[in-house]
């Protein structure tokens, strides 16, 4: 394994997001070697898509410092980052089956020091459950909406709040749900304007997108005097 990987330790400095270790296509040998390399450098790593069986195998070879969460299949090595001074992100989930994806986002926030709130079982088949909580959700400047099947929740939330909405389609469903493809396409075709979308089940990606926005908000708070730039306008 020596020399077969090269970590991007400068990513945090460059784009404000640490590189996370996506474990699905990697062998236990590769994961263990990378964890060792990180321990010798920054000592801090988020691991995603870590199957419980792989976690078992890591424990068996004495890679035991990982704080593991089986529902989201994530592990955290080392101490999370210091808390960011940004408002909490809302994570809205249509049903219980959407928890793994939503929780992956939550764990990314834990690692990054970002506050968040979770809202579960608010799918549109029972619209009132959502409407009861919409005012609280609306208070977050950034909202992640995790939903599978037809992802109708995305459009409903998008039509009710003015903050940034990041749709997180999940692979929940069967048949025409096609592993999240229908939820993904429905979110992209949403009738509510200004919805953005990430890959299916990509809780880490949704959280990373939220962190990019949170940082922009935080930077702006630190520099409220930032002068509005004059743009050379377009077509004329």
Is 217 a binding residue for its own copies by CB under 8 A? The answer is yes
Is 42 a binding residue for its own copies by CB under 8 A? The answer is no
Q: Residue 11 CB, nearest distance to its own copies (Å)?
A: 6
Pair of tokens at residue 216: 């922009």
Pair of tokens at residue 236: 């004329």
- The answer for residues whose C-beta is within 8 angstroms of residue 4's C-beta and 6 or more apart is 30, 33
Contact 213, 164 (CB under 8 A): yes
Sign of CA dihedral 194, 207, 197, 175: negative
Is 96 a binding residue for its own copies by CB under 8 A? The answer is yes
Between CA 147 and CA 92 the distance in angstroms is: 8
Number of shown-chain residues binding its own copies (CB under 8 A): 131
Which residue from 175, 176, 143, 186 is spatially nearest to 162, judged by alpha carbons?
143
Is 4 a binding residue for its own copies by CB under 8 A? The answer is yes
Is 77 a binding residue for its own copies by CB under 8 A? The answer is no
Q: Which among 36-44, 53-61, 192-200 is the span making contact with its own copies, rule CB under 8 A?
A: 192-200
Q: Which among 37-45, 56-64, 195-203 is the span making contact with its own copies, rule CB under 8 A?
A: 195-203
Question: Contacting its own copies (CB under 8 A), which of 40, 53, 82, 233?
Answer: 233
Question: Contacting its own copies (CB under 8 A), which of 141, 145, 146, 203?
Answer: 141
Is 203 a binding residue for its own copies by CB under 8 A? The answer is no
Total residue length of the chain: 236
């Amino acid at each position: 394994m020596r020399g077969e990987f090269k970590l991007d330790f400068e990513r945090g400095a460059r784009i404000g997001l640490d590189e996370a270790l996506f474990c699905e296509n990697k062998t236990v040998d590769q994961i263990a070697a990378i964890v060792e390399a990180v321990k010798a450098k920054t000592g801090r790593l988020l691991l995603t898509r870590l199957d419980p069986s792989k976690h078992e195998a890591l424990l068996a070879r004495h890679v035991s410092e990982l704080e593991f969460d089986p529902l989201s299949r994530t592990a955290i090595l080392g101490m999370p980052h210091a808390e960011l001074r940004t408002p909490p992100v809302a994570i809205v989930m249509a049903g219980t089956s959407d928890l793994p994806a939503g929780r992956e986002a939550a764990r990314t926030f834990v690692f990054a020091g970002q506050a968040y709130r979770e809202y579960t079982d608010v799918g549109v088949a029972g619209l009132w459950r959502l409407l009861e909580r919409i005012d609280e959700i609306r208070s977050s400047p950034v909202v992640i909406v995790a939903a599978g099947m037809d992802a109708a929740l995305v459009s409903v939330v998008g039509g009710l709040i003015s903050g940034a909405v990041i749709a997180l389609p999940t692979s929940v469903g069967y048949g025409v749900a096609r592993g999240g493809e229908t939820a993904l396409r429905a979110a992209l075709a949403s009738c509510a304007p200004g919805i953005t979308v990430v890959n299916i089940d990509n809780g880490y990606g949704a959280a990373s997108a939220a962190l990019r926005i949170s940082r922009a908000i935080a930077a702006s708070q630190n520099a409220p005097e930032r002068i509005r730039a004059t743009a050379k306008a377009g077509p004329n």
